[in-house]
Amino acid sequence: MAVVGNKRSVMTMYSAEDCSYCHCARFVLAEKGIAHDIVNVDPEMLPEDLIDLNPYNSVPTLVDRDLVLYHSRVIVEYLDERFPHPPLLPVDPVSRARFRLLMHRVDKDWYALMDDIQTKGEKKAAKARKMLRESLMSTIPVFEAKPFFMSDELSLVDCVIAPLLWRLPKLGIELSNEAMSIKRYADKIYQRESFQTSLTETEREMRES
């Protein structure tokens, strides 16, 4: 873990404008109402100060005084613990573990496919696109069961899922009318002030074209 030489008085996050992992962290920062600075970077040309801070040269990277964190899931859980209101994970250990497992499954089952769509050749991307669409459609009953994903209140799981759903048009994925529960769920989150605040201009353009 890196130590920051010049302590910052305000939390700073290095972020890419079209990165879903960064979007998740920005959403949590906005939902919590945490004072922070965003430093937008090009992942292909990272600034030297970020390279010095993060040995993996990745975004998002969060700097909170003398603490430096990387990997979005580590960042969002830290934010939830450091700023407990509103809580985005349950209080009891069993429920927290279940929600962490849900986030892990979203990463493995959905984010991995999204990454393949964005980075692999057309043949592999087409296969990943089909798998992601089918996987989302198979979870329609889960989206119907509760106001949020397996929860009555917004949680970190929703903060992870929402950036992916926002990107579906860009990924070339259109959900059928059978998925109205997913669309209602997504629209409810998109209308939150915190979600709107979390969007970059690049992300807004994903839905304007």
Per-residue model confidence as pLDDT tens for the chain (209 residues): 333 444 455 899 999 999 999 999 999 999 999 999 999 999 889 999 999 999 999 999 999 999 999 999 999 999 999 999 999 999 999 999 999 999 999 999 999 999 999 999 999 999 999 999 999 999 999 999 999 999 999 999 999 999 999 999 999 999 999 999 999 999 999 999 999 999 999 999 998 75
| pLDDT, position 9 | 56
| pLDDT, position 209 | 57
Give residue 101's Cα distance to chain centre: 15
| pLDDT, position 182 | 98
- Structure-token pair, residue 123: 């043949």
Smallest Cα–Cα separation from 30: which of 94, 109, 86? 86
49 burial type by CB count under 10 A (0-12 exposed, 13-18 middle, 19+ buried): middle
Using CA atoms, how far residue 27 sits from 21, 47, 100, 183, in Å, is 10, 23, 17, 19
CB 119 within 8 A of CB 112: no
CB 31 within 8 A of CB 194: yes
The b-or-e profile of 72-101 (16+ CB within 10 A means b, else e) is: bbebbbbbbeebeeeebbeeeeeeeeebee
CATH match of 93-192 with 1.10.3720.10:
no
| pLDDT, position 4 | 43
3 state SS of 173: coil
| pLDDT, position 72 | 96
- Whether 159 sits among the annotated catalytic residues: the reply is no
Q: Rounded to two decimals, what is the model's pTM?
A: 0.93
Domain boundaries, the chain: 93-192
- Structure-token pair, residue 124: 């592999």
3 state SS of 64: strand
